Amino acid sequence: MKQVIGQVLAEKLDNASYQSERAAMLTKEIADAVKMRLKECDFPRFKYVVQVVIGEQRGEGVRMGCRCFWDAETDCYASETFSNDSLFCVTTAYSVYLY
């Protein structure tokens, strides 16, 4: 999952600059692309949830956290971060097994 996320981020954000009016659309494009590629991996009975955060690089720190209630035996997640001089993007994909 981590490789899939990294590939999508590199494709979508390489040479990108932060534009607040485009950020919402770009997060949707990234989330949809990650979800589609994960579905192509054909892991049966898994549902995917993808979260994307894009922000402007302003020299300030950002802290992010998440809590999930799930089955630790079957469910998992992967996260990848992309940054350049203009923006940062944190993308997390959750894989939840459907019983």
11 vs 66: which has the higher pLDDT: 11
Place of tokens 């993808």: 50
- Per-residue pLDDT tens digits for 80-91: 999 999 999 999
Instruction: Write out the H or E segment, with its range, that includes residue 91.
Output: strand 87-97
**Beta carbons within 8 Å of 49's beta carbon, 6+ residues apart:** 93, 94, 96
Q: What is the DSSP string of 5-54?
A: HHHHHHHHHTT----HHHHHHHHHHHHHHHHHHHHHT--TTEEEEEEEEE
DSSP β-bridge partners for residue 52: 91
- Position 57 scores a pLDDT of 94
Structural contact between residues 26 and 87, judged by C-beta atoms closer than 8 angstroms: no
Topology adopted by domain 2-97: Ribosomal protein S3 C-terminal domain (3.30.1140)
Boundaries of every domain in the chain: 2-97
- Per-residue pLDDT tens digits for 8-29: 999 999 999 999 999 999 999 9
| pTM, entire model | 0.92
